[in-house]
Chains A and B, each alone.
Chain A
Amino acid sequence: MNWSFVLSNAITLACIYGTLAIGISLTWSSLGLVNMAFGFIFALSGYGAWLASLNISAQPAVVMAAGILTGALGGLIVCLLAFIPIHDKPNFPLRALIATLAISLIGNQALLWYFGPRAKSLPKLFGNWNADIFGVIVTSDKLGASVSAIVLLTLILLWMRSSRRGLEIRAMMMNPHAASIVGIGVRRTGFYVMALTGSLAGLASVLLAQTYYVAPFSGITPMVKGLSIALVGGLGSVPGAVIGAVIIGLNEALTSTLLGGQYVLITQFLLIILVLLVRPRGIAGLLDKAREA
């Protein structure tokens, strides 16, 4: 068993799933919305990138930008349908959860209906070369995916830390009610957050499509992975999501080397259950009642 290969694979996947997990986590903590349409946004942005590569240009920057923009658009659609109309209505979290599930059902079927069940493949964004890092052979797509995920995530986190909009989003994460009292528009921030997390899903989609394909239902498994990472890390915490991604990635690598690939999910969920039994709100989650509304 090639340890270095497995490890590099796990790190790449952890980067991509971590991107998704941060998106899910941000949505939950700032809007109180569990976005189950994340898989749909993921698949939609994959198709957006694919269309761009066919019709505009196969330049890596164009494809990536198209994926990210389509993801942001998907996020805005979800925001318009599932957040804006019901965010001040009774029983919002459950209704929003079901609304996003419905959007996911409609959207995935629409993708299947329009594009057909055949998987599409994106052009290679990062060329076809190998790099040798400390004796470990890393293929270009993995290295490119990890590096671009880390770079873009860092940019977004810096933006969240330093900009006015980021301040608004962080205020919503701390206390949405107080944020709305001091004049932060809940709906406006909803648009920012959903566009941002949608673009994160688009980024993850483009990056993952380097290894896998774009298909109508390709978003479900990444969404479940992202959700579980967000759960382990603690919903609403970016460092928690990073730690969760590393732990899940390590678990995946270790399990598939020591036990075999089919046991990955089993060990993963046993790990998640264990972590949640010890810390019911995740590794970095707040232990008090984090979000009431």
Chain B
Amino acid sequence: MTDTAQPTWIDPTDCHYPEAPAREAATNPHLSHQVTWNETRAFKPRLYPVGRLRYYYKWPGHGGALWWRTRYWPTRRRVLQIRGEYNPKTKRREKTIVDKRPIWWTLAFIAMILAPAVVPSAGWNTVMSAAAVFGIYSAINLCWMLIIGTASIYSLASYAVVGAAAYGTTYLAIQLGLPWWMLPLIGALIGLAFGLIIGLPAMRLDGFYYALLTLGVVELCRVYVVQSREFGSATGGLYGAPSYLPASLGQMPRLLFSYYAALALMVFALVVYRFIDGKRLGRVLRMAPEKREAFAQACGVDFVRARIMVFLISSTALGFIGGFYACHFGGASPNLFSFDTVLLSLAMLVIGGIGRSEGAVAGTAIVVFIDRVLIDLGPLRYMLIGAIMLGVVLFLREGLFGIKRQFRTWRDKKKSERRATRAEKGGEMLPEEATETEDKDQIYFRRFDKMQRDFLKRLVTDAVIEEHRSRPLGQHSEALERLLIYFRRQGQVDKYAIMVLEEFRAYRIVALSGHRGTAPRVVEDRNYATSDEAYHALFLRRVQDLLES
């Protein structure tokens, strides 16, 4: 049998009579079953790498070495959190560094300490004063992050606390002639008092009401300071606080000294952050995130108290920083209370990601760099900051440091979408059905049967039907023969049959019940005059059932 336009049929019984030429006849064109087989069995889905990439470097290590752990005072924490496991393939012990943040922090600290050496000398003054501002601002932002992130009190008045402490300490220093080291301590007291005043409403107000209220408080402070004569309304700020810098230093060492002092302040803020966020108060508050306060309260967690405690401690630290601010800049300016300062510092928090210390520091670095180093851009640099802020808010859920988690969530979503499209559907069993089927042959039979029906559907042509109509019995073309074989070997249940009502007169199509003692049912109310007509009508019924399946 060939696939030419007009294939021929050769009588297979002619091999018994080799002396006579083989009988040949024209027959219907036929589609090879191999085509459907190949198409069905072809590997259609796109190939994706199986399993997961190993994102972590696996360190070799013996199990015994895992128990050698350095713990640092005053916590019981290890320097690095290391997970040990056996690799099931290589049967070797492996170690994974679960939390690499300490490494990054160490590298960042080394970079910050060595930074003055690599700053180009052309813009040394600008960059170093900006770096000192970065240290102070990141300290403020870390404390603010405690309030917004850990305590989830949406206070916008953190810079107001700093400003109040800076103004208060400068005023006291001018009036009483205090030494410089008194200023941060007094500032801490002022910050505590200020925090008590603005923390009081936080117990009753929630979320945005408090944010808007604190925004008002900032505006109030600004207007008061701008109008008040004691606080330097004429000079645009109150100046004259003692500086912590030794008087004998030249300009370059002064900048260097103030940079390292600001860095030390940042380390102080980091320690405060770590001791609040990583210890009891932070744990308690992580138990009571937004919208789950009621549950936490029902569990006996006094989250309001914890929030107020965090707020007060942060305010005290902010006051301390305010005192340092007064020493550093020699006073305070109403700029601390301006709406733009609130905006820019909120940009710092948001860009880095709310609720993480590294986010506060990195966001501060980015914004301070744009704001203080790229001065040549003019107002354009605020637009740049605003654009970054807008982009981060619109596209990222948790700022720059949340990108990793967001990307993984997205990737897992895409993966499962692809997995869903890869499943083939048809006459096969559904996965649940397959697991519950006792006879596993059924699964493969159904799959094969579906493929066979797909193939046979393609064999049904007008020529084949015409062939059957003209000669229901006898020698057939391959296509028709395959169809008839498939129809004949179906099960007895609901199989069509021909009932003879009266020989050579009346035939009728029935469907067998498949059960002994149950009579076949009549399929249609029609009698056929000859057996060939009945055969063909039955064939058409079966073909229709096949095409509809």
Contacts and interface: CB of A to CB of B under 8 A. Distances in A.
Interface string B336-366: 0001100110110010001000000000000
B224 A276 contact: no
B60 interface: no
B390 A103 contact: yes
Interface stretch (B187-195, B312-320, B325-333, B377-385): B377-385
Interface string A102-124: 11111001101100000000000
Main secondary structure of the interface of A (DSSP, over half): helix
B204 A277 contact: yes
Interface in A70-98: 81, 85-86, 89-91, 93-95, 97-98
Contacts of A89: 397
A230 B209 CA distance: 10
A146 interface: no
A286 interface: no
Interface string A13-50: 00000000000000010000010000000000000000
B387 A101 contact: no
A30 to B, nearest CB: 15
A93 B206 CA distance: 13
Nearest to B219: A224
B224 A109 contact: no
Contact of A113 (B379, B386, B394): B379
Contacts of B390: 81, 99, 102-103, 106
Interface stretch (B25-33, B69-77, B210-218, B235-243): B210-218
Contacts of A228: 212-213, 216
B386 A103 contact: yes
A265 interface: yes
A277 B380 CA distance: 42
A85 B394 contact: yes
B393 interface: yes
Given A93-B208, A224-B219, A227-B212, A105 B393 contact: no
A281 B217 contact: no
Contacts of B227: 262
B201 interface: yes
Main secondary structure of the interface of B (DSSP, over half): helix
B220 interface: yes
A126 interface: no
A106 B383 contact: yes
Contacts of B215: 224, 227
B207 interface: yes
Contacts of B216: 224, 227-228, 231, 269, 272
A81 B378 CA distance: 24
B386 A105 contact: yes
A178 B4 CA distance: 67
Given A224-B216, A269-B220, A34 B386 contact: no
Contacts of B111: none
A293 to B, nearest CB: 11
B254 to A, nearest CB: 33
Interface string A206-235: 000000000001001100100110110001
A265 B209 contact: no
Contact of B205 (A112, A221, A280): A280
Contact of A105 (B207, B219, B378, B389): B389
A156 interface: no
Contact of A86 (B154, B385, B394): B394
Nearest to B228: A262
B223 interface: yes
A99 to B, nearest CB: 5
Contacts of B379: 109-110, 112-113
B144 to A, nearest CB: 14
A34 B214 CA distance: 14
A109 B393 contact: no
Contacts of A101: 343, 346-347, 389
A104 B205 CA distance: 25
Contacts of A268: 220
A231 B217 CA distance: 13
A85 to B, nearest CB: 5
A34 B208 contact: yes
Most chain A CB within a 10 A radius of its CB, from B389, B390, B397: B390
Interface string B378-411: 1110110111011001100100000000000000
B213 A266 contact: no
A280 B383 contact: no
B201 A276 contact: yes
A102 B378 CA distance: 17
A266 B220 contact: yes
A281 B209 contact: yes
A220 B223 CA distance: 12
Given A34-B212, A81-B390, A227-B212, A90 B346 contact: no
Q: Which 10 A/B pairs are nearest by Cβ-Cβ distance? A: A106-B386, A105-B386, A102-B389, A102-B390, A109-B382, A113-B379, A109-B379, A99-B393, A265-B220, A102-B386
5 contacts: A34-B211, A224-B216, A227-B212, A262-B228, A276-B201
Given A86-B393, A113-B378, 20 more contacts: A28-B208, A97-B208, A98-B346, A98-B389, A99-B390, A101-B346, A101-B347, A105-B386, A109-B382, A109-B386, A110-B379, A221-B219, A224-B219, A231-B213, A235-B209, A262-B227, A265-B223, A269-B220, A280-B205, A292-B291
